[in-house]
Every structure is written in C-alpha cells, then in structure tokens.
Copies of this chain bind each other. A is one copy, B any other.
Amino acid sequence: MLRRSLENRDTQTRQLQDAVTNVEKHFGELCQIFAAYVRKTARLRDKADLLVNEINVYASTETPHLKQGLKNFADEFAKLQDYRQAEVERLEAKVVEPLKAYGTIVKMKRDDLKATLTARNREAKQLTQLERTRQRNPSDRHVIVSFEFSLKKYFVRYAVQK
C-alpha cells in the first residue's frame, strides 16, 4: 500500500513539474511579446504626437477655414493618443507586470517541488530499509513496528506540509 501511494505521488510530482515548466515557458514568451506590443504601441503614440504637432504647425500657415479644420482634426487625433497612452499604462500595469511576477512564482513552485522530491526520496529509502529488515528478521516485531511508526510520521508530516 505504501509503495503504491509513493508511485501515485511520483506521477503527481511529474505532472506538477511539467505544468510548472509549461507555465514558465509560455508565460515567459507571453510576457516578452506583450512587452514588445506595449513598446510598439508607445512608439505609434510618439509618431502620432509628431503628426499632431506638424498638422498644427501647417495649420498656422493656412487660411482661417482650413486652419480651423486642421486644428480640429489635430485635437481629435491628440485625444486618441491620450487613450493610447492610457492603453500603454494599463497593459504595463495589468498584463506585463503580473506576467513578470510569474517568474518569481515559478521559482517558488520549483523550490516546493524540489523539497517534495527530497522528502519522497528519503521515504523511498526508508521503505526499502523497512522491507529489508522485515525479510531478514521476520520475528523482530519491535524493530519493524518502530520503523513503520517513524515512516507513518513522515507521511503525516509531508501531508500536513502539502
């Protein structure tokens, strides 16, 4: 029963490791591409700001009617850039930063898994030792019970940690 439970846990650990590796890989990629997307948006906003300036400069050299039309267009276009600026800030704060935070989260999960793996290996060793003891001295009840007791303590502690 103990051996089967250990094997189960082995599979679980491997699944968790795969999940962590997967998230690490894809969240890293997503974070980079989102950051690049934000940068390109910011550059588009910069170009649009240049355009607004140039239209205003040109408008100031023109006749009143055309000037008014150009200025109106420049004003509306400038408002669009304000929205673009808000988009940049929001993407930075709500998408890129949280994705970046996953770098640390993934590292913590890896450490957790490593601790689990160490504990699991220690358990497996003790289980092997227990069975060897059982085979050698089947009548030595005292030693076997004491071993089983300490192993169960391990499992309980491990389960609480989880």
Contact = CB atoms under 8 A, between A and B. Distances in A.
- Identical chains in the assembly: 2
Interface residues of A, number: 21
A57 B26 CA distance: 8
Contacts of A22: 61
Contacts of A55: 30
A51 B26 contact: no
Contacts of A3: none
A1 to B, nearest CB: 30
Interface string A42-83: 011001101100110110010000000000000000000000
Given A26-B61, A37-B48, A40-B47, 14 more contacts: A22-B61, A29-B54, A30-B54, A30-B58, A33-B47, A33-B50, A33-B51, A34-B51, A37-B44, A37-B47, A40-B40, A40-B43, A40-B44, A43-B43
